[in-house]
Chains A and B, each alone.
Chain A
Amino acid sequence: MVTIPWHLDSTEPIIQQHVINGRAVLPFASWLNRCLVEVTALQGHAPRELLRVLVRKPVVFEAGASKTVQFIGKPELGMGRFEVREDDSGTERSSPGLPLVEGAWQDESDGGPLIPAIRSGPIVDHDAFYEAAIKAGFLYGPLLRRVKQVQTGGSVWSADLLPLNDDREPSIGRATTWDALLQSGTVMAAEGGNSCWVPFRIDRMRFRGDESGASIGRLYGEWIRDPSSNSGQRLANICAFDDDLSSPRLELRGVHYRVIDQLTTEAPDPLQVGEAPTVTAVRPESILAKLRSATSERRRSLLIRFIEDQLLEVLQWDDSRRDQLAAGFVAIGVDSLMSVDLQYRLQTALDFALPLGEGFEAVSVQELADSMLQKYLKID
């Protein structure tokens, strides 16, 4: 049995990147990442599959529904967002402020104000949503709400959120759905001071085969290639994609958890997050925006991390080899092809152009970050 530790290191980038009003608020994909790390550490190698996921503490809140919640609908491929059905006539359009897909949520009588809040309550943006939820506190029912299948185009694409004591069949879902559903769930993590809850345990989750892979690949592949996208960064740690986004081949790096022996409805111990970072928005920020809002020291570390991320992709290395990057470009085998690839990625993400005739002369990531901060980036 593997359980996610309740206590997290507040200095972890994954925590640092998900702080709202001084509280860590981790969206679902972050937890998948977290599981990945845990199982990799335990097994010594990356897991093959993530099995059933049980949300231990369901999210119920009264303040309003997150925009994320209303996007439970149909993924609009290539647009990097969701589309929802406008009404029963079947008209679909991409627009905020629309009702949920009919039938998306069941067991309304199961308690909790979640359904009415979403259906009739205000729709607020992420910042307002989290803030309101935090102020109001949040309620959660004694058992998990079951989210039945969300259907579009005749195919099931959502996952079930299973009741706590339900260990029937493995849930079948797609990361997109889980992410959308549980973004809202993570608001509970902001409860009380500098503490956060781990909102769910992961037991078993299974991704679909090629069809799902292709969809996820197309949808998230764009984000993954957008270095300014948090979603892309997160999902990159879950799935590996071919360069050709239309390819159905998808390597899933899920997490395989066995059934957890003892489930409880009691709230877990709070996590001490420690020193609260100053980040105040959960909305995916561009790296440039992050750099602009960071202190100079933090700015350098952010940029180094970002360059490392890009370099890992250029080298087609996984994250476990990040430490090797410190050896310098020559030692890790960066050639001109990789160099020009890295240069293009950085230019695009950081919105600058090298003056004609100038190239990166740095020999390491650190040196490159320094020279970019000094010479090329217009941050202040």
Chain B
Amino acid sequence: MDIRPYEGDGEDAAQLMRRVWTKTYLGEMWFPLWSPEFLRWQFGKEDRQLCLAVYDANKLVGCFFSVRHSLRIRSTVFPMSFSSWFTIDHDYRLPRLGLDLIEALRRRHRETGQALSLGVVSGDPSSVAHLFWSKYSKACPQNFRFISKFGSWVKILNAPVMARAGIDAWERWGVRLLGPVLKRSPWGHDSHLRPYQSGDLGACARLLDRATSSMDWAVVWSEQQLTRQLEGPIPRSLVFERDGEVQGVVNYHHMQWQGLAPIRIALIDLWATAGLNHFEVSRLLGSVCHHLRGEDVDAVVCLRSSMFPTAALVANVFVALPASNYLVALFPQPHVPLEPPKTWSLLLR
């Protein structure tokens, strides 16, 4: 068994994760079905130092990937990463393989000067992920910290599909009963909303900077990283332009989630506006939902963080899901303050 930087093009990793996660979680909890395209978007081919894989000869049997970013905590900017996709093939669940992989990734973080990594762990205490990381946090408290719980906002667009996919009875029946209401949005197309263009980068960067400047924790975007986040075949971005000025940006991507059946969602990563009143923000979100309905997604999802406008979400009949997942810190350096942030803008996978 060899632990080394990931060498594939995303196909084998996506396949491994789908196979393992489906076997582990199907029918028990919602989980993402990662696509090769999504993985390629996340870590590309240039920098694989923090994307580690376990190979049996040339066969991929495990992976743990981190994507580099910069994070501002209060007034200090730290080099860090967002980690996810920790997977070990069921046939290779050896006594220390997972732990060795974590340790290898920890060393890489130290070697590359990362102050910490952030990730998500299911809050379901019976889930394998929760069990593992809970025990890991006790055995290796210096390597792992639970920070806080967080929830999501969900907008149902295709109620029948969502009703079929719900894990719990209340999900299925709730969507069946309330579907006609939940899928409604008071606003339709807005002519000020248009697809993002390369020339919008500067304006979007300024919008994001202004929107997150007062937050406790926020991703700090370099031009290159923001370009990668906003442009390309996987990420999609819309801007709100009025009087020749970009006053809003919405960045999202499509992905599949698996419940009892797969659903197609649009996950909004970034949202920033400037100079719009509450009504205009609500109308902007409504027109985004209208746009996404046209892209044939079953639901729109965003994190319950201060980046997103609560009033506009409520006005557009988004449902606030309870905080069911943990924000966690891996490999934190001692000097990194990890008090739970009240306001934050993060990319959690």
- A interface residues (Cβ-Cβ under 8 A, vs B): 329-330, 333-341, 343-344, 347-348, 354, 356-357, 359-361, 363
Choose among B98, B103, B132, B135 the residue that contacts A357 (Cβ–Cβ < 8 A): B103
Chain A nearest CB, measured from B98 CB (Å): 3
A338 to B94, CA, bound (A): 10
Q: Is the CB of B135 within 8 A of A359?
A: no
Stretch at the interface among B136-144, B175-183, B220-228: B136-144
- B interface residues (Cβ-Cβ under 8 A, vs A): 88, 93-100, 103, 106-107, 128, 131-132, 135-136, 138-140, 142-143
- The residues of A that contact B95 with a CB separation of less than 8 Å are 329-330, 334-336, 338-339, 363
- The residues of A that contact B140 with a CB separation of less than 8 Å are 340, 354
Q: Is the CB of A359 within 8 A of B96?
A: yes
Q: Is the CB of B138 within 8 A of A344?
A: yes
- The residues of B that contact A354 with a CB separation of less than 8 Å are 140
A334 to B138, CA, bound (A): 18
Chain B nearest CB, measured from A226 CB (Å): 15
- The residues of A that contact B96 with a CB separation of less than 8 Å are 336, 339, 359-361
- The residues of B that contact A330 with a CB separation of less than 8 Å are 94-95
Closest partner residue, chain A, to B107 (CB atom): A357
- The residues of B that contact A343 with a CB separation of less than 8 Å are 139
A356 to B131, CA, bound (A): 22
A348 to B139, CA, bound (A): 9
- The residues of B that contact A333 with a CB separation of less than 8 Å are 93
Closest partner residue, chain A, to B88 (CB atom): A336
Residue with the highest number of chain B CB atoms closer than 10 Å, among A337, A338, A343, A363: A337
A363 to B95, CA, bound (A): 8
Q: Is the CB of A340 within 8 A of B94?
A: no
Q: Is the CB of A359 within 8 A of B128?
A: no
Chain B nearest CB, measured from A140 CB (Å): 49
- The residues of A that contact B135 with a CB separation of less than 8 Å are 337, 340-341, 344
Residue with the highest number of chain B CB atoms closer than 10 Å, among A329, A336, A339, A360: A336
Chain B nearest CB, measured from A247 CB (Å): 14
Chain A nearest CB, measured from B57 CB (Å): 18
Chain A nearest CB, measured from B318 CB (Å): 35
Chain B nearest CB, measured from A340 CB (Å): 5
Chain A nearest CB, measured from B277 CB (Å): 51
Chain B nearest CB, measured from A96 CB (Å): 34
Q: Is the CB of A336 within 8 A of B132?
A: yes
Closest partner residue, chain A, to B132 (CB atom): A337
Q: Is the CB of A359 within 8 A of B94?
A: no
A22 to B107, CA, bound (A): 53
Q: Is the CB of B107 within 8 A of A340?
A: no
Q: Is the CB of A359 within 8 A of B99?
A: yes
Q: Is the CB of A340 within 8 A of B139?
A: yes
Q: Is the CB of A347 within 8 A of B139?
A: yes
- The residues of B that contact A340 with a CB separation of less than 8 Å are 99, 132, 135-136, 139-140
- The residues of B that contact A339 with a CB separation of less than 8 Å are 95-96, 98-99
- The residues of A that contact B100 with a CB separation of less than 8 Å are 359
A354 to B142, CA, bound (A): 11
Chain A nearest CB, measured from B243 CB (Å): 56
Closest partner residue, chain B, to A347 (CB atom): B139
Q: Is the CB of B98 within 8 A of A335?
A: yes
Choose among A334, A337, A338, A359 the residue that contacts B103 (Cβ–Cβ < 8 A): A359
Closest partner residue, chain B, to A357 (CB atom): B103
Could you name 15 residue pairs across A and B whose Cβ atoms are closer than 8 Å? A329-B95, A330-B94, A335-B88, A336-B88, A336-B95, A338-B95, A340-B99, A340-B140, A341-B139, A344-B135, A356-B142, A357-B107, A359-B96, A359-B100, A361-B96
- The residues of A that contact B128 with a CB separation of less than 8 Å are 337
Chain A nearest CB, measured from B99 CB (Å): 5
- The residues of B that contact A360 with a CB separation of less than 8 Å are 96
Residue with the highest number of chain B CB atoms closer than 10 Å, among A339, A341, A360, A363: A339
Q: Is the CB of B139 within 8 A of A357?
A: no
A366 to B317, CA, bound (A): 61
Chain B nearest CB, measured from A341 CB (Å): 5
A340 to B134, CA, bound (A): 10
- The residues of B that contact A356 with a CB separation of less than 8 Å are 142-143
A354 to B106, CA, bound (A): 15
- The residues of B that contact A357 with a CB separation of less than 8 Å are 103, 106-107
- The residues of B that contact A338 with a CB separation of less than 8 Å are 95
- The residues of A that contact B142 with a CB separation of less than 8 Å are 356
Closest partner residue, chain B, to A358 (CB atom): B103
A335 to B87, CA, bound (A): 13
User: Which 10 residue pairs of A and B lie closest in terms of their CB atoms, listed nearest first?
Assistant: A336-B98, A335-B93, A344-B139, A329-B95, A334-B95, A343-B139, A344-B138, A337-B132, A339-B95, A340-B135
Chain B nearest CB, measured from A326 CB (Å): 15
A336 to B97, CA, bound (A): 6
Chain B nearest CB, measured from A355 CB (Å): 10
A340 to B135, CA, bound (A): 6
- The residues of A that contact B99 with a CB separation of less than 8 Å are 336, 339-340, 359
- The residues of B that contact A347 with a CB separation of less than 8 Å are 139
Chain A nearest CB, measured from B129 CB (Å): 10
A341 to B96, CA, bound (A): 12
- The residues of A that contact B132 with a CB separation of less than 8 Å are 336-337, 340
Closest partner residue, chain B, to A362 (CB atom): B95
A180 to B217, CA, bound (A): 56
Chain A nearest CB, measured from B16 CB (Å): 16
- The residues of B that contact A336 with a CB separation of less than 8 Å are 88, 93-99, 132
Closest partner residue, chain A, to B141 (CB atom): A353
Chain B nearest CB, measured from A177 CB (Å): 34
- The residues of A that contact B94 with a CB separation of less than 8 Å are 330, 334-336
A341 to B139, CA, bound (A): 7
A354 to B136, CA, bound (A): 13
A107 to B128, CA, bound (A): 57
A230 to B95, CA, bound (A): 29
